[in-house]
Amino acid sequence: MAAKLIDGKAISAKVKEEVRDEIKQGNLKIGLAVIIVGDDGASRIYVNNKKKACEFCGINSFEYALPEHTSEAELISLIDKLNNDAAVNGILVQQPLPKHINQSVVNAAISPNKDVDAFHSENVGHIVGGDFKFLPCTPAGVMRMLEAENIDVCGKECVVIGRSDIVGKPMALLLLHKHATVMICHSRTKNLAEVTARADVLVSAVGKVGLVTADMVKPGAVVIDVGMNRDEDGKLCGDVAFDEVKEVASLITPVPGGVGPMTIAMLMKNVLTAKKLEQK
């Protein structure tokens, strides 16, 4: 029997409704500043989707579209201004940045209390310790999906493919905090298929079309596809060879319509959290 689809659109809509209702009930004035440097097509789509989500939730969105040649110093100067702007509760700098701008320097410049991407080293430290205020949006979205499907990872074998600071590492930590047994795989992992075939929950966050095939998946496993790629026909797809893996897995996320909408919904939740922190 083919796997059940985990509907990211439906779950993300519920999260956004929760955020909208809380903002309405508290009559809260909340602002998110989004900075985009250069004219990356995919980044523009993400920024537009974030604006739509803000509008739905009742969050003011302030967009700063900077030219490609903007210097690192100019970008940091804008971030400083936004750190001190009472109307702005969250600051997000869209990735990727042009090569001449150091991502780590940018992450460090954002106030930890307005860091709604949870990339500042202070917030990363809290995630490691388990006493976090903010969580990176994509891993938090995956955890919310598992929760929505009543999947308890406690004691289960979970494999994360990918070790990025944005998804792979925090994903593994969040699973660990829920008492899963976690293995992180990457480009240098030997016998990848053997490792993934043991997983009760398999999360792929690499960005490689068709990386995960049916023979790599344990029958009845939960498969979460974080990849966002284009195939040779230009069609949006993930890391998982969906048509073959869905015949083996018990639950699977589609691309598009899986993890993507959750990332934006959890961003809205983080912006609301930033407002609550400010009120405290």
Catalytic residue list contains 94: yes
144 neighbors 138 (Cβ within 8 angstroms):
no
What span, in angstroms and rounded, lies between the C-alpha atoms of 198 and 142? 20
Q: What superfamily in CATH does domain 136-259 come from? A: NAD(P)-binding Rossmann-like Domain (3.40.50.720)
Q: What superfamily in CATH does domain 29-111 come from? A: Leucine Dehydrogenase, chain A, domain 1 (3.40.50.10860)
Instruction: Please tell me which residue in 117, 200, 225, 239 is annotated as part of the active site.
Output: 117
| Cα distances (angstroms) measured from residue 253 to each of 95, 170, 224 | 24, 19, 5
45 neighbors 71 (Cβ within 8 angstroms):
no
**Of all residues in the chain, what percent are helix, strand and coil, respectively (each to 5)?**
40, 15, 40
Instruction: Please tell me which residue in 16, 94, 218, 269 is annotated as part of the active site.
Output: 94
Residues carrying CATH 3.40.50.10860, the chain: 29-111
Catalytic residue list contains 165: no
Catalytic residue list contains 50: yes
Please give the model's pTM, rounded to 2 decimal places. Answer: 0.96
- pLDDT tens series, the chain, 280 aa: 799 999 999 999 999 999 999 999 999 999 999 999 998 888 898 899 999 999 999 999 999 999 999 999 999 999 999 999 999 999 999 999 999 999 999 999 999 999 999 999 999 999 999 999 999 999 999 999 999 999 999 999 999 999 999 999 999 999 999 999 999 999 999 999 999 999 999 999 999 999 999 999 999 999 999 999 988 898 999 999 999 999 999 999 999 999 999 999 999 999 999 999 999 8
DSSP 92-153: EEPSSPPTTS-HHHHHHHS-TTTBTT--SHHHHHHHHHT--S---HHHHHHHHHHHHTT---
What span, in angstroms and rounded, lies between the C-alpha atoms of 147 and 136? 17
Instruction: Please tell me which residue in 50, 156, 246, 269 is annotated as part of the active site.
Output: 50
Count how many Cα atoms sit within 13 Å of the Cα of residue 255 in the half-sphere of its side chain.
25
Residues carrying CATH 3.40.50.720, the chain: 136-259
